[in-house]
Amino acid sequence: MAEDDLELIKRRKLLELEKRLLAKKVEASPETIDYDSIVRARLVGRGEEVLAAAERQFPSETRRIVRALAEAIKSKRLRGPIDGGALYELFLALGMRIRLETKIVYEKKGEEKSISEVLKEGLE
């Protein structure tokens, strides 16, 4: 009889520990929300390019900003599309100067050439 009681107590303790462990896991990992896809769905124009550059240059800060933007979108505080200029201004306002690749293109008769190609042709 004493052995049965001891076994019952052990099982109860084990169940309690499993419940606590499960509760901690649930608290530690809230629903896995894909914040990145929520924000990228709203990006227009050069928004993708700005976000990609920000992720390369400031990875941890950009993750936090994307999460905040996604929360604002989910709670309907941020409506409408987000263009590249607005996103760039947001990063600048937060003190993150993002370096973007820029190029000057010359167009003549429907043909586009980079400025370096035009200068090379002019020197020849």
End-to-end CA distance of the chain: 103
Q: What pLDDT does residue 31 have?
A: 56
Query: Which tokens in the block code for residue 94?
Result: 């937060």
What residue ranges do the domains of the chain occupy?
1-30, 33-124
Which residue in 19, 16, 51 sits closest to 35, CA to CA?
51
Q: Largest alpha-carbon pair distance within the chain? A: 103
Dihedral angle sign, alpha carbons of residues 89, 93, 97, 98 = negative
**Full pLDDT tens readout for the chain, 124 residues:** 677 788 888 888 888 888 888 777 766 555 567 888 889 999 998 899 999 999 999 999 999 999 999 999 989 898 889 999 999 999 999 999 999 988 888 888 888 888 888 888 876 5
Measured between alpha carbons, how far is 37 from 34 in angstroms, rounded to an integer?
6
Q: What pLDDT does residue 123 have?
A: 65
